């Protein structure tokens, strides 16, 4: 059963578009790489150089954390909310924008 080679295994679940690439990683992906609770200083050490997607273009996570006054995130949701409050929420520009 598991030895069956089918085309379904090699085809992507969601087809990818041919448009321009978007710089940076989604915030959710960066947040998923961390465990919670987490201090802002530890996040800077672990993921500070990560580039995240924002409505104003790609930015490093360390720069965004500098704009927040929060030093301790008890949950993933509190981290995402603080970052979104600093950078805003909206469409992310592509290379063509």
Cα separation values, 52 from 25, 29, 38, 78, Å: 5, 9, 18, 17
Q: Residues in the chain, how many?
A: 97
Residue 32: alpha-carbon gap to chain centroid: 8
pLDDT of residue 16: 57
Which structure tokens are listed for 31?
Answer: 């947040």
What share of the chain has pLDDT > 90, as a percent? 64
pLDDT higher at 86 or 21: 86
Mean pLDDT of the chain: 85
pLDDT of residue 85: 95
């Amino acid at each position: 059963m598991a030895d069956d080679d089918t085309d379904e295994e090699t085809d992507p679940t969601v087809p990818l578009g041919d448009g321009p690439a978007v710089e940076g990683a989604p915030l959710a992906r960066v947040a998923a790489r961390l465990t919670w609770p987490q201090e802002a200083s530890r996040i800077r050490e672990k993921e500070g150089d990560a580039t995240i997607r924002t409505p104003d273009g790609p930015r490093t996570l360390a720069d965004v954390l500098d704009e927040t006054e929060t030093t301790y995130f008890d949950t993933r949701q509190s981290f995402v909310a603080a970052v979104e409050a600093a950078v805003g929420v909206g469409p992310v520009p592509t290379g063509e924008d």
